[in-house]
Structure 1
Amino acid sequence: MGYRISKVYTGTGDAGTTGMADGQRLAKSHPRIETIGELDMLNSQLGLLLAQLQLQGLTDIFDSLAPYQHLLFDLGGELAMPEYQVLQAAHIQQLETLIDRWAEQLSPLKDFILPGGSVLIAQAHICRCAARTAERRCQLLHEHEPLRAEVLGFINRLSDVFFVAARMIALHEASHEVLWQAQPAPVVSNE
């Protein structure tokens, strides 16, 4: 990419704008900046998940997810510099292949799963939720400034990967998945 940070603070954003790679300044509340921020949040949550996977020795899951942290950063770069187009249809296919490979090892779903069972499972679900938030921001930006289909497909599939990753973690940890149970309707007293 060639663009490097030489100083952490510049003071140029104190008035509520931030600089894009092409020199243009946008409001920090602009949908493009909001989207980049949500991708950064997702990337940070993924970083926490990856660190926990390493600590627990779940190297297969770690090795499968680690490349997506770099691709998320690339996606942020693409939003900052639209001419920088890294994400391709092959990345979406890789996500689908991973989902299918993991799904073959899992029991069929019969109930909704709640985020819990272990810290790692819950963190994978936090990543799933952060991916959905980032996807909504991408869709909002897309309404105003069209994004490439590869961007929208990638971020959509990524949340699915985290859902299946949570199930794979449960399998490897031999943790139970927390299944949703409908609560009975409250009893209404006539008194």
Structure 2
Amino acid sequence: MTEPPDPRPAARQWAGMLGALDDDDPVRPTPCTDDTVGDLVDHVDKGCRGLVTVAGAPLIGPDDTAEPAAAHVRGDPRQDLAHYAVALAAAWSDPRARTGSSPVAPGVDLPNAIRGRIAPAELDVHGCDLARANGRPFALPDDVLRDSLDRLLAFVPTAPVAGLGSEPVAVPPGTPLLDRVVAAAGRRT
């Protein structure tokens, strides 16, 4: 089996974009159906925390909060969220994280080797979602994007739980690689 994609480039961009959010950004719409920037940030925050824990790495930072998603991107919590994105990248870079399996829903386990390949694609897609919602650039190395595209095209149609992926969107030949990755995750480009 080949090594999983490197999640660090997307994690660094994600962290940088979080730091650039202002107080008006949480209510902006995103390419995700019905989700605001605040919802997206909350989703990625929870996903990062959960995936860091699944990888067996310690969560260093504040406990989960019951605050609404939009409140998560105001003030200092942005730095905590950025920390978790970078922590996810570090945790899944350790080959030991990709052993065993863990639950994704009651009674449904997913091999951690698959999680280790999908987690970077999640950061790639949601990083692009956040950038597009806020009119910011987002670029990743082609090898990272190719791997994310391959992983999404293989995983989404066979996801073990409904809702772990959206139906891929068809794109014409010649579509840029980042747009193909986003389309594979069910987003219109």
Report the TM-score, using the length of structure 1 for normalisation.
0.37
Report the TM-score, using the length of structure 2 for normalisation.
0.37
Structure showing greater Rg? 1
